[in-house]
Amino acid sequence: MAGFKLDARARLSIELALTAGRGDPDIAHQQEKDAKALGMSGAEIDMARKGSSFDFQLSKAIVVALAPDAEHRERAMKAGIDGQTCADIEKLAASYIDPSLLRSA
């Protein structure tokens, strides 16, 4: 299986999944504009917002972003996504965490 590339299209798909529940129409509009510029179809955008993809490897990458744990990381690696890319996906996902959702320790 070919290696997975965390390119602009993959990053946007992950962003779509991570921000889907925020309900911000401005962000959603900009994401759709960006997705269309990258050649993504409406169905691909919808799938990403639901946390999946028609592409097997990208689907695994999105799951790692949404639920970064050892099990999902292992499944992603079996699908051809290397460990460094999994770490990069997790770092990307962490950048989308809404600070207002974090509890003070």
- pLDDT, tens digit (0-9, with 9 covering 90-100), for 87-102: 999 999 999 876 655 4
Q: Counting beta carbons within 10 angstroms of the beta carbon of residue 79, is it exposed (0 to 12), middle (13 to 18) or buried (19 or more)?
A: middle
Residue 1 — pLDDT band, cuts 50, 70, 90? Answer: low
Each residue of 6-20: pLDDT tens digit?
A: 999 999 999 999 999
pTM for the whole structure: 0.88
